[in-house]
Amino acid sequence: MKTQTKIIAIISLSFYISSCVSSNKIYDENDSEISNAVGSKNLQTIDIDILKPERTINLSNIFRGVKTVVLETNKDVLIGNINSMQIYNDSIFILDSRSARGLFLFNKNGKFLRRIGNIGQGPGEYIEPSDFTLDKKHKFIYILDSRYQKILKYDIKSGNYINSLTISNSKYSSFHIQFVNGKLYADSFKYPYTLQDCMLQEINLTTGEREKKWLSTSTYHKNFTEIQFLGRDVFYDKGLVTPKFIQTFMDTVMSINKQGDVIPYLTIKSKDLLTKSDLSQIDGNVLLKTRTLVKMNKIYHINNFVSNQNLLYFTYCQKLFIMNLFYNMKTQKTHLAYGITDDLVYGKVEEYIGIEPQFCCSNDNGFYSYIEPRKMSKFIELAKAGKLARNLDKRDQLMKLNTDSNPVIFVYEY
């Protein structure tokens, strides 16, 4: 991707009580109330229409540097996908839910420490580990086995299995979980689909019962209930005090606070936003629906949301493009771009088309990104050809990688 002249767009962050929060109570088929999000005076609104997109944004304009973490590769840990990542103290947790089907723990330097749980149907074993979350206060790990709707509990320090529980309502399925201040939250999908489904639920950690439900699909998801558009994740900022929640056709990112309230955190505004009417006209299977969405000049699917006290980043879809937005909370500068130029990692921009960074989580050290496993062969080719940035740390180690090596992680510093 060639570098173009940058156009610095300035975003206006306005604060108001969310208009998307309905005052009407909504109930499911069992006459059980589905709660709305709690109105917020600090909702951040991003007006997409006042921004002029750049073709690409140089990461050197966002971050001051980058550090490399080379994940150890051995017979006990061969990662084929990275579906979720969290940072805990000096450790890195990586979930591969499709290939290796497990949760793996590395130290901050990439040394492999242990696998949490194993594949199987015995105690402490799972079949489809679709997500995990950490209780940092009590030092527990929770892994969701979506095949059996079972939540397994492990000790963070040793990795030892403690116990498990089954989500009790068989009419609903969950694929993602998030621990917040003593409570466990999960997404919620029901079949057959109804417009009064909830999208978010609290799970009792003793009984597996649904304690509370939030966000009806009719109010917050444009009446869309089908699971076929389930994204890579629905919980973001998973390691922060107030994690975020959003599904594919929501326009507002929700935050879950310490009190257990679901609060609107950020919303996007544009005349091109996908509407309920637009979505209701899309028929057919998932492939046909996807093709129809691509043909529309509509904005949808806030995704890959990562933030901390300094910086906010997310992507959204519009036609064939995945747009990238950075907002620096200190300088109040915003960059909206079709692509990302990673001039901190690579020497010549033209060399790395197709292996842009995949931002996935953050902490005080910076934003964490990784090379997708399926793109490691291209990255290794560039490393061996000496086409990485000259001041990139661990260049010699990167040049020794092979196609069987585990993914590389980069930490982008402020």
The full DSSP string for 181-207 is TTEEEEE-EESS--TT-EEEEEE-TTT
Would you say the C-alpha torsion 68, 72, 77, 78 has a positive or negative sign? positive
Q: In what order do the strands lie in the sheet with 14-16?
A: 14-16, 43-47, 262-269, 252-256, 244-245, 235-236
Residue 15 scores a pLDDT above 60: no
Residue 229 is predicted with a pLDDT of: 60
348 versus 83: the higher-pLDDT residue is: 83
Give the burial class of 251: count Cβ atoms within 10 A of its Cβ; 0-12 exposed, 13-18 middle, 19 or more buried.
Answer: buried
Domains by residue range for the chain, with CATH:
25-413 (2.120.10.30)
Residue 364 is predicted with a pLDDT of: 87
The mean per-residue pLDDT over the stretch 251-256 comes to 96
Q: What is the pLDDT of residues 179-200, one digit of tens each?
A: 999 999 999 988 766 656 889 9
pTM across the whole model: 0.90
Between β-strands 43-47 and 262-269, what pairing exists: parallel, antiparallel or unpaired? parallel
Q: What is the pLDDT of residues 42-58, one digit of tens each?
A: 898 999 999 999 999 99
Of residues 355, 406, 357, the one with CA closest to residue 382: 355
Q: How confident is the model at residue 294 (pLDDT cuts 50, 70, 90)?
A: confident
Token pair for 346? 């690579």
DSSP 336: E
